[in-house]
Structure 1
Amino acid sequence: MSKVLESWLRLAAVPKLGGSAVSKIISKHPPEKLLELSDFELSSIGFKPEQLAALRQPDFSIIDRCLAWCDAPDRHILSLSDPHYPFLLKQIASAPPLLFVEGDPHILTAPQIAMVGSRHASQEGLALAREFAEALAKHDVVVTSGLALGIDGRAHRGALEGQGKTVAVLGSGLEKVYPSRHRDLAKDVKENGALVSELWPWSPPKPAFFPRRNRIISGLSTGVLVVEAALKSGSLITARLALEQGREVFALPGSIHNPNARGSNGLIKQGALLVETVEDILEQVMALAGCAINHQLDIEQAQVLQEELPFPEVLANVGNEIRCVDVLAEICDQPVHEIMMKLLELELQGLVTAVPGGYVRTRRG
């Protein structure tokens, strides 16, 4: 298992260190370099004394359990530095440092629409959720929801009935599927998409986990469709988070006599896009989804290209400014004669060029 992943797990095990704090820390130092810093340096980037102690002496049972969990088939742990971490989710203010995934992690970078609504939905609401999810699936749009009773569960089922893909974001660890009556549904989701959680796999569901889960549901998606929602509901929290994240919010209008439609009708009053057909959704969000996919492909292609280039550790330290051989040898911790041989090979391939005082990278490099 990658030492980088172990470093991320060690960082994630530090108590009371949220996504925003982690993003600030890793913007200055990658996790695998943190232990090389002094206590003073760690304190200066935000570690409190008890957090510093937890980083130095972590609970290795947590790390070992995660690594053992990840060894099983179809299980993955994606860190913020992983090239497969979903691009849209990475853009939100408090992106989860780690995602635990069961199923196909590549699904998380596909175009997604979140569908949310009441746990006590009307029969009409449930039917509409299934109908729209099935239609979205037939247009190759992944349907993302929270595996809850009511609209969530019907949305997942609709996507599966449409022979499409679906993603379920849990408010518990992936070993503690909640609600328990959706265990069979969770298995179907895993086989035709992915189960996702930011929590340790063995974490039980807690009320505080579900609002945090909602930001992931909206963060993964290009838009959120609210099917039925009361005035005070988690679905409205998801809609608010979607707006804060720059996502589109859609709502199905409901009867004025249905209390579970007052929240979704209120969203329409506030500017959410009223939806009557699946085309109302597709024409609004596919352009944004295309941009996200292209950016993700650019990242993955750049990584593949970097891996294919010779002597990447040397090439990575030659830029547009002149870099002399002695400095390269020191940075790469390699003898000067080896650096010279590698630079010659890179020059023959047109990736660097010799100039007075050292080497610079070519456009091809």
Structure 2
Amino acid sequence: MTAPADALHWLALEAIPGLGPDAARRLFEHFPDAKSVFDAPVGLLKPIVGEPLASAIAQGVDAARHQDALTWLAEPGNHFLPCTDPAYPEALRNLPDPPAWLYIKGDPAWLARPMIAIVGSRNATPQGKRDARAFAQALAEAGLTVVSGLAEGIDAAAHEGGLAGQGRSVAVVGTGLDRIYPAKNRDLAHKMAEQGAIVSEFALGTPPRPGHFPRRNRIISGLALGTLVIEAAPDSGSLITAKLAAEQGREVFALPGSIHSPLSRGCHALIKQGAKLVESAEDILEELRFQWAPTYVTATEPPETDVLLGLMGPEPVGLDALVAGSGLTVDTVSAMLLAHELNGKVAALPGGLYQRLY
């Protein structure tokens, strides 16, 4: 499957201004495919989608306008999957507002496999990104495909972990698939196209617009059995994904954090509202009743014998506090912190703060 036989008609239908998922759903309650829509008399279309859309459809198909998209679809690994196709994901088909079509770069088969969504802050802490990678890898190795939004921070870390866990990761983006946003994730996107899939309901050439990202979140949550939120401020877009997941009847999970961290407040709010608090990948797999691999990640580890690491937790701490707590000199503490940074145990943060990485 690369594109339906009437790909040109689908592209023309998609290009009609104002024809969103609701209007498309109404059309396909009456017509089997896009070509049948364009073949229908305008009088038959008006009661279904209204006069403006019916008149736009009646203008027919301009093949030249869609030649670039047809060329893109002809390239290996590029696909167009309409909602009328039997391969369209059942998980999306039953949503209140399913996308009428999906552009896919990669392997469409990934969309039919059990998924877990992992989302969170774009401005994630080093520990948050490390947790996202570890949870994603453990869940992928257990057989779940990791789906997220290719954003900076938690999303990117989750994709990296999913790819490390047998290449199981799918990205749902808020742009056309001929654009990569953010640009710094270009290499990650290319790797996902080779080992997983990138998905969008937006036409080729669509730039990143603020309204697109909340809209794509319903697809992220809709594809997954559940959504795990790792680090989220109270106004985080990842909370929209969690809300959508709950409305769609999916499970919602949240990783707790320090009560002093703004990035923990969104997760703590979700837990108060009924999200399952998780400390390990096993917690998620048990809730989903999904058989897991014998090894899994936890969010904690045994007490550290190193005096400096023993003073450090998930909450960032300053040099002065470490000097006072350890009884060591400033030079000694600074040298130890540098060594721990090089060993991947500590991260230096803005403002002269340090955070332990578990």
- How high is the TM-score relative to the length of structure 1? 0.75
Match in the other structure for 1:22: 24
Could you tell which deviates more after superposition, 77-86 or 52-61? 52-61
Give identity over the alignment, percent. 48
User: 59, 69, 76: which one pairs with 2:79?
Assistant: 76
Distance, in Å, in 1 between the alignment partners of 2:246 and 2:7 is: 32
Q: For residues 120 and 180 of structure 1, do their structure 2 counterparts lie closer, same or farther at Cα, with a shift above 3 Å needed? A: same
What secondary structure, in the 3-state scheme, does the structure 2 residue paired with 1:230 have? coil
Q: For residues 20 and 269 of structure 1, do their structure 2 counterparts lie closer, same or farther at Cα, with a shift above 3 Å needed? A: same
Letter paired with 1:5: A
* Aligned-pair CA distance for 1:178: 0.3
Distance, in Å, in 2 between the alignment partners of 1:53 and 1:100 is: 23
User: 230, 234, 237: which one pairs with 1:231?
Assistant: 234
Match in the other structure for 1:156: 159
What is the Cα-based RMSD across aligned positions, in Å?
1.7
Distance, in Å, in 2 between the alignment partners of 1:287 and 1:45 is: 42
User: 209, 216, 229: which one pairs with 1:213?
Assistant: 216
**1:99 paired to 2:102:** yes
* Aligned-pair CA distance for 1:246: 1.1
- 2:217–2:241: 8 Å Cα contact kept in structure 1? yes
Match in the other structure for 1:4: 6
**1:280 paired to 2:283:** yes
Letter paired with 2:91: L
Match in the other structure for 2:125: 122
What secondary structure, in the 3-state scheme, does the structure 2 residue paired with 1:100 have? strand
Q: For residues 188 and 36 of structure 1, do their structure 2 counterparts lie closer, same or farther at Cα, with a shift above 3 Å needed? A: closer
Q: As a proportion of its length, which structure holds more helix?
A: 1
- 2:83–2:100: 8 Å Cα contact kept in structure 1? yes
Could you tell which deviates more after superposition, 20-29 or 255-264? 20-29
Match in the other structure for 1:34: 37
1:50-99: per-residue Cα shift (whole Å, max 9, x none)?
Answer: 55224533453443222211100011000001111111011111111111
- 2:151–2:182: 8 Å Cα contact kept in structure 1? yes
After the TM superposition, list the runs of 4 or more consecutive aligned residues in structure 1 that deviate by more than 6 angstroms: none
Could you tell which deviates more after superposition, 22-31 or 191-200? 22-31
* Aligned-pair CA distance for 1:2: 4.2
Distance, in Å, in 1 between the alignment partners of 2:37 and 2:60 is: 13
Distance, in Å, in 2 between the alignment partners of 1:160 and 1:53 is: 43
User: Which residues of structure 1 form unaligned runs of 5+?
Assistant: 289-365
- 1:224–1:239: 8 Å Cα contact kept in structure 2? yes
**1:195 paired to 2:198:** yes
Could you tell which deviates more after superposition, 47-56 or 239-248? 47-56
Distance, in Å, in 1 between the alignment partners of 2:253 and 2:65 is: 40
* Aligned-pair CA distance for 1:204: 1.3
* Aligned-pair CA distance for 1:15: 1.1
Could you tell which deviates more after superposition, 37-46 or 178-187? 37-46
Match in the other structure for 1:249: 252
* Aligned-pair CA distance for 1:248: 0.7
Q: For residues 105 and 39 of structure 1, do their structure 2 counterparts lie closer, same or farther at Cα, with a shift above 3 Å needed? A: same
Match in the other structure for 2:337: none
User: Which residues of structure 2 form unaligned runs of 5+?
Assistant: 292-358
User: 56, 61, 66: which one pairs with 2:59?
Assistant: 56
1:295-320: per-residue Cα shift (whole Å, max 9, x none)?
Answer: xxxxxxxxxxxxxxxxxxxxxxxxxx
- 2:9–2:38: 8 Å Cα contact kept in structure 1? no
- 1:141–1:165: 8 Å Cα contact kept in structure 2? yes
* Aligned-pair CA distance for 1:209: 0.9
- How high is the TM-score relative to the length of structure 2? 0.77
Distance, in Å, in 2 between the alignment partners of 1:172 and 1:58 is: 24
Aligned length: 288
What secondary structure, in the 3-state scheme, does the structure 1 residue paired with 2:146 have? strand
